[in-house]
Amino acid sequence: MSTLSLAERRERQLAHERERAAHLAQRGGRVRDRRTTPELRAIALESEGKFADGDTDALLAWVAEEFGDLTAVACSMADAVLPHVVARHIPWVDTLFLETGYHFAETLGTRDAVESSMQLTIVDVQSRQSVAEQDARYGERLYERDPALCCQLRKVEPLTETLGGYEAWITGVRRDDSPLRADTPFVTWDEKNGLVKINPLADWTLDQVLAYAAEHDVILNPLLNDGYPSIGCAPCTRRVAPGEDPRAGRWAGLDKSECGLHT
C-alpha cells in the first residue's frame, strides 16, 4: 500500500499530467506529413521477414525510428502490458481505446488507472452515434440481433477513421489467442486500414503476458482474475470455465469469434 499522503499523490498526478502536456506540445512542433499508401505498403512488405525471430525490443526500436509519433497502440484494457512494452521505446505513444459505450465498469476503471499512471496518451475512439442514437435507428440490443453490425458501427468504423492519421498501428494479437490467429506475423500490411500493422507480442503466451505484468507491476483488469481471460463489451462477454478456450466467453452461443478489427 502506498505511504504517500493525499497531497503527495495529487502532486505526483499533476506532475504526470504536466509531463504529458509538455510532450504533446513538443510533438506538435515536429509532426511530419503521413507518407503515401504505396510508400507504407512498400515498407511493410520489405520488413515482413526481418523480425521473424520474435525480438520484441528490436522490432519496437525499428518502429520508433521508422514511424515515431505516427504510431498508435490499440489497447482493450484487459491489461496494459502492450502499451507498457511500447512506451519503453515510444514514450507517450497514442493509445487507442475503443469506447463502445458497453464496457464493464472494471474496464473503464482500468483505462483511467492506465492513463493516470503510465507514459502514454489515451485516445478515446468513439462511434459517431451514441448508444441511444444507435438504438433509435436500429432498435435496442442490436448486439443480440446483429452482433456483426454492432461491432462494425461501434468498433471497426471508428477505428478505421482514427487510424487514417497514423502510419502504423500496434496490436496485442497473439498466436495463442485462437486458431484463427495462429499464423499472426510480427509485421504485415493492413490492406483494410491502409497502414502498417505491428504485432510485437505475436509469439507471447498468456503466461508470459502475466509474468511481464507481475515483474513490471503493470495494471491488469480485475476481471482477468474473475474468470474473464478475454474481455470485450459487457453484454457480449461471459466468464470462461476452467479448461475452456480463453475466447469461449466472447459472443457465446453465436457464430462469431472476432469483432472484425483483425480480419
Other beta carbons within 10 Å of 231 = 22
Which DSSP symbol is given to 158? H
Instruction: Select which of 81, 218, 259, 261 is catalytic.
Output: 259
C-beta of residue 243 within 8 angstroms of C-beta of residue 263? no
259 is catalytic: yes
Known binding residue 75? Answer is no
Residue among 58, 64, 52, 61 nearest 187 (CA): 52
DSSP bridge pairs for 74: 96
C-beta of residue 214 within 8 angstroms of C-beta of residue 237? no
CA angle 122, 103, 232 (to 5 degrees): 95
Cell of 49: 521477414
Q: Is 104 helix (H, G, I), strand (E, B) or coil?
A: coil
Q: How many residues does the chain have?
A: 263
Tell me the C-alpha to C-alpha distance, in Å, between residue 210 and each of 27, 216, 220, 245: 32, 10, 9, 17
Known binding residue 150? Answer is yes
Known binding residue 151? Answer is yes
Annotated binding site for [4Fe-4S] cluster: 150-151, 233, 236
Q: Which residues are catalytic?
A: 259
Annotated binding site: 150-151, 233, 236
